[in-house]
Structure 1
Amino acid sequence: MAKLLELQTYLSDKGSLTVFEKVLKKGIKRIFYIYNAHKQERGGHRHKLAYNALTCVSGSCEVYVHNGEKEETFILDSPDQCLLLEPRDWHTMYNFSENSVLLVLSDRFYEKEDYIYEKYEELIAIV
C-alpha cells in the first residue's frame, strides 16, 4: 500500500533544501510534473512494474489510492513529503490548488504496456 514519507530537509536562514534520496530502490529513470490541472482529475491507473514517488513542490492536491484490499486518500501539501506508490496502487490525483505543481519520479521509463486502467472491484464494508 502507498505510504507517505518525510523527505530529509535542511533548514537555514538561507531557506530550505529538501533531498529526494534513496526513495526508489531501483533509482530514478523518469521525472515529470503536472501543473495547470486545476479542477481536473489525473491518473486513473496502476502499473504492472513501476514504482512512483509523488510530491507537491508547490500548492497541494489529493491522491486517492486503492490497492485491491485497502483504500486511502492522502493530502500532499508540503514539499518535504513524498507519497510512494507501489505498482498495484490504483490512483487518481485531484483537487489541485490553483498554483500546484505535482512532481512525479518513476523507477521505470514510460511503457504503455505497464499501465492498467481497470479499477479494482469496490470494497464492501462488512457490518
Structure 2
Amino acid sequence: MKNTTISDLKIIQIDKIKEERGTLSVIEKDVVPFQLKRVYYLYDVPSDAYRGGHAHKELYQFLIPVSGSFDVILNDGYNTKTITLNKPDKGLLIVPGIWRELENFSSGSVCLVLASEVYDEDDYIRDFELFKTLKTT
C-alpha cells in the first residue's frame, strides 16, 4: 500500500461558467490527475447512515457534492481529518492508502465519484485494524 498521508489529500476547484440561465461546471483535461475508468454516485443516503468504511491500495477517487452536503472522515493510520463537502464546484481528491467514511448526508444530497480504476475487490481494505497495521509496517 502507498505511504500516503492526510497532507496528500487535495480540494480541487472545478471550473464553472455562471450566467443568468444557471451555472455549468466542467471536468476535462487535467482537472483530476488520473484517467477516469469508473463513475458512480451515491444518493438517497439516510442522514444517520454512513458510506465508505474502507481504504484502497491503488485507486484514486475524486468526490464531488453535486447536490447537498456530507462529511468525509479521513485517516492515514496516524491522523484523522474531517472535510465537509458542500459546493458542487469543489471536489476532494482522495489518494490510495487513506481510510474514508462518508456521513452526515443532507436531505437530497448526491455524491459523484470519479475513480481511476474499475471495481476490483482486491484493491479494498475493509478492516480498519488491518489498515492501521499495514500503514505502520
Give the TM-score of the pair, scaled to structure 1: 0.89
Structure 1 unaligned residues grouped into runs of 5+: 122-127
Instruction: Pick from 54, 58, 66 the counterpart of residue 57 of structure 1.
Output: 66
Distance in 1 separating the partners of 2:14 and 2:76: 23
Structure 2 unaligned residues grouped into runs of 5+: 1-7, 133-137
Q: What does residue 24 of structure 1 align with?
A: 32
Contact 1:61 1:96 in 2 (8 A): yes
Contact 1:2 1:65 in 2 (8 A): no
Cα offsets for 1:4-42 (capped at 9, x unmatched): 111111111121111123233231100000011122110
Tell whether 2:19 aligns with 1:12.
yes
CA apart distance, 1:117? 1.3
Alignment coverage as a number of residue pairs: 121
- Structure 1 segments (4+ residues) deviating >3 Å: none
More helix by share: 2
Give the TM-score of the pair, scaled to structure 2: 0.83
Instruction: Pick from 40, 44, 53 the counterpart of residue 36 of structure 1.
Output: 44
Amino acid at match of 2:11: L
Cα offsets for 1:35-86 (capped at 9, x unmatched): 1112211000110100000011011100001112332101011100100000
Contact 1:24 1:107 in 2 (8 A): no
Distance in 1 separating the partners of 2:60 and 2:74: 13
Tell whether 2:123 aligns with 1:108.
no
CA RMSD across the alignment = 1.2
Q: Percent identity?
A: 36
Distance in 1 separating the partners of 2:52 and 2:114: 14
Instruction: Pick from 79, 87, 110 the counterpart of residue 70 of structure 1.
Output: 79
Q: What does residue 96 of structure 1 align with?
A: 105
Q: What does residue 124 of structure 1 align with?
A: none
